[in-house]
Structure 1
């Protein structure tokens, strides 16, 4: 079978690899029909040290179950399923609490295991990981359903972690796919005012369609000051940091009002932040966020996607075949594409 491997910074290849197959009785074999490139995939694309053998990459996919292990009870061949970006058993105490991202027996896609950017994948702990989709494999809602694996669930996590609800004022930092998903999630949860911080018009225009009321193009202290100007001088009650840089975190702390919350879902790209602890402490600002437990959120988000009340799949602005994946990485890295959809 064909699959995507990363060998080092800028070195993405699509090659023949051993066919995916069942290993454990709790496995399922999924034929991938939709996958995508994540913004977090760009960090190793930009920074990874060269390695000898390539490693599998990709963690967002959906497809059709081809085979199940003897201990899999919840799925059968022919089921259309979405795979969250993390593997979880669904039974440990963290999974029962809804924190599937901290599953004691879970794991990640890629590396030595199967990746999501290929023709098929072995799914460990299938009963706890996969979610059945009540659609046909060629359903027109597939792009939006695919976002449940990561990007829309992560945007939702950002909003939930900051306590966004009816009447909230919200700043979203970042006009990438996660940031735009966070705008959509905040609007879905009833936010009263949403400010999007971004400077790419095609993206911020989509952000406005998703629910943003204002767009701030300034960065740093000027950006935070602009948010405060737009919100009566105090800042917003919630700030959703969807980038992962130190500058983004500093802007978040400058844009949040006293007693508010900052939620960080951008993969951190700094080792030691210069966090102004006193500033946070004396203003009673809460810090939250982290890795989204997407498996726990899918049952809540799925009905709205199926009904068309939200269309998070609009973040995809380019569709490619599997052999074009290296150019898909280049396009996203060069900001020629917002988010790339892969049809193996």
Structure 2
């Protein structure tokens, strides 16, 4: 089959790799129909995180089951399914707590040891704990499938930021970052009932999506200027802050705009943001919660809302490519020509 393979920073290629096959009774083989390029993929694409030549790419995907192992009971060949960006057994201590990203038997798609979603097919280990069946009523409704696809990562991650930050009905939330996760954070804050939603971002096309998603205020200043603007407009800061980037400046801004007694929900993959302003956090009793999002725990409720027509994160997918176009998808996102690329595999 064909799949996306990392070779060097700025160099991802679609090439032939071995076909996936059932190796364990808990496996499924899924033919990929839709996938994405993620903002976190840009860390290895830019050479910021260390990847090795030959690693497989892509952790956001959905498709149609082709084969299942002898122990799989939740899905069967022909079922349309989506997958969170991490696979998990659904049975360990952490899975039962809704923390599937810490599953003792789990892992993440792509890299050295797993198939990546940016390819024609995937061997899905721990299928019963991982895959979520999409109702047959969806069939080949491309618009609806496009709305479901962000649930594999960015919508669930934005939701995790909002939950971790303690967004509440009638409250005020600030979202740091106007990428796909930040935009989904805006959507999540609105879904949870926030009355005022402030987004800190810089690109007008993305901020327009944020407004459509429910942002009531837009701050385009950077760093300290942005912090001062939010503090002034809110009379002391936001009670719930969603950090959706992962770099030092975004974390500094998130902590800076938090109201005393507030909470920062952080979901941006840390890239230099590990040094925290503990003095401000200590002095203002600001809590920090979040981390890698247990998307599998959130998919059922989010999927219900998508199917009911009350949730549609699809506008973050503003570029569509085929499998051969995956390298262009990476380049477009790297150059800020696209928010997020959808890969229509078949």
Q: Which TM bucket (shorter chain)?
A: over 0.9
Matches within 5 A, 1:73-84: 73-84=73-84
Q: Distance in 2 between matches of 1:75 and 1:322?
A: 26
- Alignment of 1:270 onto 2:272: yes
Which residue of structure 1 lines up, in the alignment, with residue 289 of structure 2? 288
Offset of residue 192 of structure 1? 1.0
Contact 1:65 1:77 in 2 (8 A): yes
Which residue of structure 2 lines up, in the alignment, with residue 2 of structure 1? 2
Which residue of structure 2 lines up, in the alignment, with residue 225 of structure 1? 228
Offset of residue 143 of structure 1? 1.2
Which residue of structure 1 lines up, in the alignment, with residue 99 of structure 2? 99
Offset of residue 308 of structure 1? 1.4
Q: Distance in 2 between matches of 1:219 and 1:288?
A: 23
Supply the RMSD in Å over aligned alpha carbons.
Answer: 1.1
Offset of residue 167 of structure 1? 1.5
CA displacement, residues 145-180 of structure 1 (integer Å, 9 cap, x when unaligned): 111110000000000001111012000000000000
3-state secondary structure, aligned to 2:46: helix
Offset of residue 49 of structure 1? 5.5
Offset of residue 134 of structure 1? 0.5
Q: Distance in 2 between matches of 1:314 and 1:271?
A: 28
Which residue of structure 2 lines up, in the alignment, with residue 195 of structure 1? 198
Contact 1:8 1:49 in 2 (8 A): no
- Alignment of 1:258 onto 2:257: no
Q: Distance in 1 between matches of 2:270 and 2:324?
A: 30
Q: Distance in 1 between matches of 2:59 and 2:50?
A: 20
Which residue of structure 1 lines up, in the alignment, with residue 240 of structure 2? 238
Q: Distance in 2 between matches of 1:49 and 1:148?
A: 27
Offset of residue 278 of structure 1? 2.5
Q: Distance in 2 between matches of 1:277 and 1:76?
A: 50
Contact 2:87 2:130 in 1 (8 A): yes
Which residue of structure 2 lines up, in the alignment, with residue 206 of structure 1? 209
Which residue of structure 2 lines up, in the alignment, with residue 170 of structure 1? 173
Q: Distance in 2 between matches of 1:102 and 1:268?
A: 17
CA displacement, residues 19-43 of structure 1 (integer Å, 9 cap, x when unaligned): 1111111000100000000000000
Contact 1:319 1:342 in 2 (8 A): yes
CA displacement, residues 192-220 of structure 1 (integer Å, 9 cap, x when unaligned): 10000011011000100100001000011
Contact 1:87 1:124 in 2 (8 A): yes
Offset of residue 313 of structure 1? 1.1
3-state secondary structure, aligned to 2:18: coil
Contact 2:247 2:273 in 1 (8 A): no
Q: Distance in 1 between matches of 2:286 and 2:42?
A: 31
Q: TM-score if structure 1 supplies the norm length?
A: 0.97
Matches within 5 A, 1:317-336: 317-336=318-337
Q: Distance in 1 between matches of 2:317 and 2:100?
A: 26
Which residue of structure 2 lines up, in the alignment, with residue 40 of structure 1? 40
- Alignment of 1:315 onto 2:334: no
Q: Distance in 1 between matches of 2:140 and 2:343?
A: 14
Q: Which runs of 5 or more structure 2 residues have no equivalent in the other structure?
A: none
Which residue of structure 2 lines up, in the alignment, with residue 340 of structure 1? 341
Query: Runs of 4+ in structure 1 displaced over 6 angstroms?
Result: none
3-state secondary structure, aligned to 2:262: strand
Return closer, same or farther for 1:181/1:111 CA change in 2, 3 Å cut-off: same
Which residue of structure 1 lines up, in the alignment, with residue 121 of structure 2? 120
Q: Distance in 1 between matches of 2:277 and 2:336?
A: 32
Q: TM-score if structure 2 supplies the norm length?
A: 0.97
Q: Which runs of 5 or more structure 1 residues have no equivalent in the other structure?
A: none
Contact 1:169 1:238 in 2 (8 A): yes
Q: Distance in 1 between matches of 2:328 and 2:315?
A: 20
Paired residues, what number?
341
Q: Distance in 1 between matches of 2:140 and 2:180?
A: 23
3-state secondary structure, aligned to 1:42: helix
